[in-house]
Structure 1
C-alpha cells in the first residue's frame, strides 16, 4: 500500500513515484505513529494494525 503526498492511500502503484510519501509493505512489521494509526484507521485499514 502507498501513502501519497496528498494524504490518501492506494493499493495500486502510482505511475509517478514522486507522489509517494511512504510505502507499507505487506508481511513486514512497520512502525507507525499515532497520527498514522488514525489516518490508516479512517481509510479503512484499522483491522490490519496490530500493536
Structure 2
C-alpha cells in the first residue's frame, strides 16, 4: 500500500516536470506544417501514445 502510494506520487511528479519542460521548451514550430513534434495538448499534431500503438 505504501509502495503504491509512493509510486503514484512519483508518477504524478514526473508528469508535472515533463509538462513544465514541454511548456518552457524554447523552440517553437516555424509554421502550421512544423507542429508534428508538438504534443496535441500543447497545440501540436504529434500522435498520442495510443495512436502510435494503433499504427503498429
Normalised by the shorter chain, which TM-score bucket? under 0.3
Larger Rg: 2
Structure with the largest fraction of helix: 2
Structure with the largest fraction of strand: 1
Q: Given the two structures, how large is their TM-score scaled by the length of structure 1?
A: 0.25
- Larger RCO (CA within 8 A; separation ≥ 6): 1
